[in-house]
Amino acid sequence: MNSAGILQNNRQVANWLLIGVFMIMVQVLIGGITRLTESGLSITEWKPITGALPPLTEAQWAEEFEKYRTTDQFQYVHRSFDMGDFKFIYFWEWFHRLWARFMGLVFLTGFTYFIFRKKLTRNMIAPLVALFILGGLQGAIGWIMVKSGLVPEKYYVGHVELTTHFIAAVLLLCYTLWFAVSLKPSFDNKVRNNALKNLLHLLTVLFLIQFMYGGFMAGMKAAATAPTWPDINGDMIPSSLSELQPWYHNLFNNKIMVHFIHRGWAYLILILVSLFFIKSRKTTDNRLFTFFSRSLLSLIFVQVILGILTVMNGTFPERLVWLGTAHQFAAILLACNLTALQFLVRKNGI
């Protein structure tokens, strides 16, 4: 095959992968709504095939509602729910699972098509298989997360399980995007700068930790514990940061500590992203890099503002759904932006 044919095939595979990136972003968005509407435990069973269809008769709805009524979440949190309320939360959990199935179908259909048309090179097969495994693993993690909330004395899914599910989704998103841009000729022109690359590595680690604490914030409903800003319930450094023993339990199970770390980490990231932007202004010969550098700075300011608004409205459920979802969506846009920059920037001699 000539070079023009290879480029065309690569472009088609890249576009298919970018469709996957978009679908993962939508899935994370739906997941955020599912979490914020407390819908995750509405479906108490995992039926990969038959579960694609929602209840179709009143009898089936009554059966599903009865299963939900056995959960502690219903008994202690949503006991006032009627069938209409149940159908609302059931929809979001069902839609979340349906979209996951749809993503799997799009992947398998595209993979089969490209194999049949011989558009995949050998070096594409292993990454695509890995992508499929990661997608299946993400589904399994999702069910483990749901099961963590279907046990006695648990009203919601575990915050560690929820965070694992979210981080796995972000990693799947970034992996798919990296694979896609590697096939795009527009990303071939690299920026070679040791200082920028080192700063990007640091930012990647900080963002990963921030995403983890964002998951903890969501899973523990920690926003409502301190709906004030810039202070945390009147204090800049709350006295309850170390109330749990041993001390390290505070890092993962103390709502105020989690809240404190998530806020402080955001300020640190904001400073470092601003520093990265200042340093990157010396690089003017790569338009794609300039675009992502500017958008990273813009997104981090938007994200910080959304974070502040989300916290300040933490005790207003309806506002929290919209603001929390926007905050999570901005996070995945930042993850995509950072992935693109990591791909574009290389150290000297590499």
The conformational region for residue 234 under phi > 0 = left, psi -120 to 50 = alpha, else beta, is: left
Residue pair 223/260 in contact (Cβ under 8 Å)? The answer is: no
SS (H, E, C) 31-96: HHHHHHCCCCCCCCCCCCCHHHCCCCCHHHHHHHHHHHHCCHHHHHCCCCCCHHHHHHHHHHHHHH
As a whole number of Å, the end-to-end CA separation of the chain is: 29
Nearest to residue 324, comparing CAs of 227, 195, 201, 189?
227
Q: Which helix (H) or strand (E) holds 191?
A: strand 191-192
Residue 49 reports pLDDT greater than 80: no
The model's pTM is 0.93
Closest CA relative to residue 24, chosen from 96, 93, 94: 96
Instruction: Give the integer Cα–Cα distance in Å for 310 and 312.
Output: 6
Dist. CA 148–CA 135, nearest whole Å: 20
- Respond yes or no on whether the N-terminal peptide bond of residue 54 is cis (omega within 30° of 0): no
d(CA 235, CA 248): 22
**Residues in Cβ contact with 325 at an 8 Å cutoff, skipping those fewer than 6 apart:** 29, 32, 33, 36
Q: Provide CB contacts within 8 A for 215, sequence distance 6+.
A: 159, 162, 163, 164, 166, 167
Contacts of 198 (CB under 8 A, 6+ apart): none
Which of the two residues, 207 and 139, has the higher pLDDT score?
207
pLDDT-derived band at 350 (thresholds 50, 70, 90) equals low
Q: Domain map of the chain by residue range?
A: 1-188, 191-350
State the residue for tokens 């799997």.
104
Helix-, strand-, coil-residue percentages of the chain, each rounded to 5: 75, 0, 25
As a whole number of angstroms, the distance between CA 265 and CA 346 comes to: 26
Q: Over the stretch 87-126, which tens digit does the pLDDT of each residue have?
A: 999 999 999 999 999 999 999 999 999 989 888 888 888 8
Percent of the chain with pLDDT over 90: 68
Tokens of 56: 């179709």
pLDDT tens for 327-347 read: 999 999 999 999 999 999 998
CA geometry: angle 139, 173, 143, nearest 5 deg: 15
User: Confidence class of residue 1 from pLDDT cuts 50, 70 and 90?
Assistant: low
Q: What is the CA radius of gyration of the chain?
A: 22
**Residue 25 pLDDT greater than 80, yes or no:** yes
**How much is the pLDDT for 51?**
78
